[in-house]
Structure 1
Amino acid sequence: MTPNHDELFTHNAPRPLADMLRPDDLDAVFGQDHLLSKDGTLRRMVEAAKAGQPFPSLIFWGAPGTGKTTIARLLADAIGMQFEPVSAVFDGVADLRRVFAKARENRAAGRKTLMFVDEVHRFNKAQQDGLLPHVEDGLVTLVGATTENPSFALNGALLSRCQVLVLNRLDEPALNQIIARAESHYGQALPITDEARAMLCAMADGDGRYCLNTVETIMAQISNASPMASSSSSGESGDLLSAEDLGKLLSQRAMAFDRAGDQHYNLMSVLHKSLRSSDADAALYWFARMVIGGEDVHYILRRLTRFAAEDIG
């Protein structure tokens, strides 16, 4: 049964912290300054649209938790479009027809429609082709979100009608801004040491949603957890949780990895670069990350053998 979109996208309690703290303005989005700063690509598009220029269809390519859905929703608000969300996982032809029918009603009433397709790479070729005529005639402005490389995951015909914008993984300053927003929501500082805070950011690995979910877990469990911090090795943190305490409180996050997609090639590339720069610690880290992620060890050995022959000699 297809989920009701009102149930999927409206704010109903109880809501996760990550949903409650979604930005309500593009200026409140952290970590995507290359797109949303005053001279950012997306900011310029928004200003042009406000001045009467057509807004282009877009593909947001980025890792989970980087703000793709949030930015799409805020875009619709910023440029005065009706926001119509679709999930390429749950929705089918009937749902697309419903959105296009609503878009025709909006057009008749003088309103424009922003059609947001989450996980757009999950649509098959026929479904992607079905979007083309409605994008071409301006019935909808398409904003698709994907975690996969659009060059491989999307049809060339659809790509030629869209601009691809890359959303970066959130860096530590952006994650700390998100944590500060959560602390403001709770009305208190997160009860962890600076070292534990750095560990939290490292565990998030650029994923803002994971970061907020972890903050919520800490705040929910801290009142019921035994006072571990008092036995921390530093002895100077009072009631603050140390990095070691945080590790006990939280389960380890699975490393982001795939054996056939971008991560497969990106991690091997950075392993090579670490070896070329004689950075043994970095090379061991990326090697371990690939092994823990499930990479074929024979593939790693073949690449290391090739590296030894070609780069070392």
Structure 2
Amino acid sequence: MFKSSNTTPLADKLRPTSLDEVYGQEHILDSDSLFLKLDKNSYALSMILWGPPGCGKTTIARLLTKKIEGILYTLSAVISGAAEFKDVFKKASENKKCGINTILLVDEIHHLNRSQQDIFLPYIENGTIILIGATTENPSFELNSALLSRCKVVVVNRLDTNALLHILKRAERLLDKPLPIREEARTTLCDMADGDARFLLNICEELFDLKHTSPLTSSELLSLMQKRTPIYDKGRDQHYNLISALHKSLRGSDCDASLYWLARMLTAGENPLYIIRRLVRCAVEDIGLADPAALQQALAANQAYELLGSPEGELAIAQAVIYLATAPKSNAVYKAYKNSVSDAKNYGSLMPPFHILNASSELMKEQGYAEGYVYDHDTKEGFSGQNYFPDKFKRRIYYKPVERGFEREINKRLQYWATLRRKLS
């Protein structure tokens, strides 16, 4: 009654059966790599494979387990519960008594909370299991330090265009027919996949089923197929990577790169107010008084965005980004504050010198409060040159302006007062 149908996705049909068929990971899989020069027993070390979606983490994990003699169990941290993990540990303990290795492959291991991750520790420690975890998130942030200390972290790279083009050719050989796209559209197709082989092959599957008379151009391909949404999770690693890239591009006075990272974040759905908060920080930390208007521009962007909303308000953010990127840079204010805080913590509750304290009672007058204070406005230069640091505390110079922007003018003022102070001392 029923006809058999092959509904296996192309991505599964094309899954590599040997490490030689894995593209884009030459840094760990090349014949000269240290990773593959490990002897057979070294593969029996627990490891964490870290990389973006669709780069081949699970495939590599499965292929590596073939090099370890033992029984493989595969669980997903997303859908597997505590009972399933305990069942594997029970079987692994029985395998160990028989001298058989147990390899546990855990996909999306970062979805396990800290307590759940701890359950692996004794079984890894006593050699009951060899753990191979796959994660898209930075292990430093998402995995326990105790678990990380027992595993080797292997970075799996985002697939580049060359690797994706190789995968396209494999798909064509497997199905024995060419993709219905022009040569120049092949690169466009790879760009659409954004480093994700699984997404690429899903598009290919649709293209192979097309009833089209002539090969598609790049523009036809873009209009027909949906582009992959860029990887971005506002609460995880990529969020911090991109805001760091924006901040460092601003600090490095690269206007165009700054605009690119801004656009990456906004198009991915980042909260514009979060970006503005970082612009305000950049204005005071990396520009400071080299251009006092930088802070005004950042705050104005905040006000304009709250008034206009999106998308009109995003133009105000772009204007602030351009201003901050092209402004003269100085971290003199940042360093001055940091050093003054350090002294405040290290030297405790030193009293101010008595001559700058108000004598608000007779007792305080008798103790010398306000005695000898000179009112600066009554002097010829409007500057008394008196000491305002605590007594017996050597004078510090915290603020050292750079010879850029408005701080060049501030430096002249400081030198003028320093000269007067020396004359009056």
Partner residue, 1:204: 193
From 142, 155, 162, give the equivalent of 1:173.
162
**How far does residue 54 in structure 1 lie from its aligned partner after superposition?**
6.4
From 69, 80, 85, give the equivalent of 2:58.
69
Give the Cα–Cα distance (whole angstroms) in 1 for the partners of residues 77 and 7 of structure 2: 25
Give the 5 Å matches for 1:180-199: 180-199=169-188
Partner residue, 2:414: none
Larger radius of gyration, structure 1 or 2? 2
1:18-65 Cα deviation digits (max 9, x unpaired):
0111100111111111111123243133xx12xx45621101111111
1:145-179 Cα deviation digits (max 9, x unpaired):
11111111111111111111111000111111111
Q: Is this contact kept in 1: 2:43–2:64, CA < 8 A?
A: no
Give the 5 Å matches for 1:41-52: 41-45=34-38, 48-49=39-40, 52=41
Q: Is this contact kept in 1: 2:106–2:133, CA < 8 A?
A: yes
Structure 1 residue 294 corresponds to structure 2 residue 307: no
3-state SS in 2 of match to 1:142: strand
1:80-108 Cα deviation digits (max 9, x unpaired):
23211011111112111221232234334
1:113/1:271 CA distance change after superposition, 3 Å: same
Partner residue, 1:162: 151
Partner residue, 1:36: 29
Give the Cα–Cα distance (whole angstroms) in 2 for the partners of residues 290 and 102 of structure 1: 46
Give the Cα–Cα distance (whole angstroms) in 1 for the partners of residues 193 and 233 of structure 2: 18
3-state SS in 1 of match to 2:134: strand
1:126/1:305 CA distance change after superposition, 3 Å: closer
- Identity, in percent, stands at 48
From 268, 274, 281, give the equivalent of 2:243.
268
Q: Is this contact kept in 1: 2:193–2:227, CA < 8 A?
A: no
**How far does residue 286 in structure 1 lie from its aligned partner after superposition?**
2.5
**How far does residue 306 in structure 1 lie from its aligned partner after superposition?**
4.4
Runs of 4+ in structure 1 deviating by more than 6 angstroms, as ranges, are none
Give the 5 Å matches for 1:1-313: 13-45=6-38, 48-49=39-40, 52-53=41-42, 55-220=44-209, 222-223=210-211, 227=213, 239-275=214-250, 276=252, 278=254, 280=256, 282-307=257-282, 310=286, 312-313=327-328
1:123/1:306 CA distance change after superposition, 3 Å: closer
**How far does residue 265 in structure 1 lie from its aligned partner after superposition?**
1.9
**How far does residue 249 in structure 1 lie from its aligned partner after superposition?**
1.6
**How far does residue 263 in structure 1 lie from its aligned partner after superposition?**
1.3
3-state SS in 2 of match to 1:177: helix
Q: Is this contact kept in 1: 2:51–2:57, CA < 8 A?
A: yes
**How far does residue 194 in structure 1 lie from its aligned partner after superposition?**
2.7
3-state SS in 2 of match to 1:164: strand
Computed over aligned residues only, the root mean square deviation of the Cα atoms, in angstroms, reads 2.1
Give the Cα–Cα distance (whole angstroms) in 1 for the partners of residues 254 and 80 of structure 2: 50
Give the Cα–Cα distance (whole angstroms) in 2 for the partners of residues 185 and 54 of structure 1: 31
TM-score (norm 1): 0.84
Q: 1:170 is aligned with what amino acid?
A: L
1:54/1:174 CA distance change after superposition, 3 Å: closer
Counting matched residue pairs gives 283
Give the Cα–Cα distance (whole angstroms) in 2 for the partners of residues 178 and 283 of structure 1: 33
Give the Cα–Cα distance (whole angstroms) in 2 for the partners of residues 54 and 199 of structure 1: 38
Give the Cα–Cα distance (whole angstroms) in 2 for the partners of residues 191 and 185 of structure 1: 15
**How far does residue 279 in structure 1 lie from its aligned partner after superposition?**
5.8
1:196/1:304 CA distance change after superposition, 3 Å: farther
Partner residue, 2:368: none
3-state SS in 1 of match to 2:155: strand
Q: 2:202 is aligned with what amino acid?
A: N
Give the Cα–Cα distance (whole angstroms) in 2 for the partners of residues 268 and 106 of structure 1: 48
Give the Cα–Cα distance (whole angstroms) in 2 for the partners of residues 41 and 66 of structure 1: 20
1:100-150 Cα deviation digits (max 9, x unpaired):
232234334432111011111111222211111111111110011111111
